[in-house]
């Protein structure tokens, strides 16, 4: 499947989820039960903006987004947060102003189609000193005296939620994200008219056997096709040869395992089905654009205040 087609498919699935009855009902219930804002944003990090007023949304955050410089700071926090949650799953952090923010990816298979977002609350009472520190990080001189007065009032009136209660809310949202992911997967399968049922069966088989040797005769037999016909149909549906697809799926698995602090790169390579470390490194570079160790450095360079929500 070409990159352009994947992008269009992701956009179409996101739009269907956004307009679905289940999302609308859960959004209303979550806001009413928790008092927190909730929204779903596209997988494209450039799409993150607070472009409209929403129920339970922080007035402080809304006011900040009226200022271009402040908006850039908010966007950077959320880009980093979404990037990390795409790798690690449900992730929470404190923004530069001390407000909590959470991002939970919604998947269609291995493709991230969007993120559920919540937060914009404090987990400890806001203070005047905290407001002054936040403004210093933004260069408070960009605001007029009237703007600072409005921002300070909104900051000090922002809701406070205990860490335990906030984590419970994140857990609820995580369960809904899994339901949306299952719905997105069904939409992806329905939308992918080029993929016959036989190819879907072969892909399911591949993902269940990634740590084992996967041969062309085995995959073709599962699909119920001759080897030559299977090769043509598989490439047409996925945009990859069987070998490329297997290695791609193994790299996706490896990226999750590499986030475990005690996991050795060589152990991960063999765990996910590669026969040698050199083969693993070559494939990792092909599909990720760097080495496994560079990938770890990239993740560790993300904001240190971020943490995976358990």
Task: Count CA atoms closer than 13 A to 101's CA, side-chain side.
Answer: 28
Residue 262 pLDDT grade (very low, low, confident, very high; cuts 50, 70, 90): confident
Q: Which of 161, 134, 163 is nearest to 60 (CA)?
A: 134
Q: What is the chain's mean pLDDT, rounded? A: 83
Domain boundaries, the chain: 3-190, 196-300
- pLDDT tens digits, 21-80: 788 888 889 988 999 999 888 876 555 555 555 667 888 888 877 766 566 778 788 888
φ, ψ dihedrals at 159, nearest 5°: -60, 150
Residue 185 pLDDT grade (very low, low, confident, very high; cuts 50, 70, 90): confident
Q: Which of 14-28, 87-101, 208-222, 261-275 shows the lowest per-residue confidence on average (mean pLDDT)?
A: 14-28
CA distance 106 to 115: 6
Percent of the chain with pLDDT over 90: 37
Fold assignment, 196-300: Arc Repressor Mutant, subunit A (1.10.10)
In 10 A of CB 142, how many CB atoms? 13
The pLDDT value recorded for residue 275 is 92
Domain 3-190 grouped into CATH 3.30.450: yes
Q: At what angle do helices 128-138 and 68-88 cross, to 10 degrees?
A: 100
The DSSP secondary-structure symbol of 160 reads B
């Amino acid at each position: 499947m070409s990159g352009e087609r994947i992008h269009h498919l992701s956009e179409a699935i996101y739009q269907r989820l956004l307009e679905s009855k289940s999302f609308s009902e859960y959004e209303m219930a979550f806001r009413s039960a928790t008092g927190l804002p909730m929204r779903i944003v596209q997988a494209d990090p450039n799409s993150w903006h607070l472009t409209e007023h929403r129920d339970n949304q922080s007035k402080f955050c809304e006011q900040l987004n009226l200022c271009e410089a402040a908006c850039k700071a908010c966007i950077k926090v959320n880009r980093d947060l979404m990037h990390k949650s795409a790798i690690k799953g449900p992730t929470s952090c404190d923004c530069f102003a001390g407000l909590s923010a959470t991002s939970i990816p919604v998947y269609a298979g291995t493709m991230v189609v969007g993120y559920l977002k919540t937060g914009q609350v404090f987990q400890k009472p806001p203070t005047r000193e905290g407001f002054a520190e936040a403004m210093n990080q933004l260069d408070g001189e960009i605001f007029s005296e009237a703007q600072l007065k409005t921002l300070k009032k909104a900051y000090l009136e922002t809701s406070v939620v205990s860490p335990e209660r906030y984590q419970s809310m994140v857990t609820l949202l995580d369960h809904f994200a899994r339901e949306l992911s299952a719905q997105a997967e069904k939409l992806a399968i329905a939308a992918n008219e080029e993929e016959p049922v036989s190819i879907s069966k072969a892909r399911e088989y591949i993902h269940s056997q990634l740590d084992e040797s996967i041969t062309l005769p085995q995959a073709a037999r599962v699909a119920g096709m001759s080897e030559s016909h299977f090769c043509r149909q598989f490439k047409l549906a996925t945009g990859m040869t069987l070998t490329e697809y297997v290695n791609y799926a193994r790299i996706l698995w490896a990226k999750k395992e590499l986030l475990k602090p005690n996991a050795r790169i060589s152990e991960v390579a063999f765990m996910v089905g590669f026969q040698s470390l050199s083969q693993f490194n070559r494939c990792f570079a092909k599909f990720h654009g760097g080495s496994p160790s560079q990938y770890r450095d990239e993740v560790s360079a993300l904001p240190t205040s971020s943490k995976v929500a358990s």
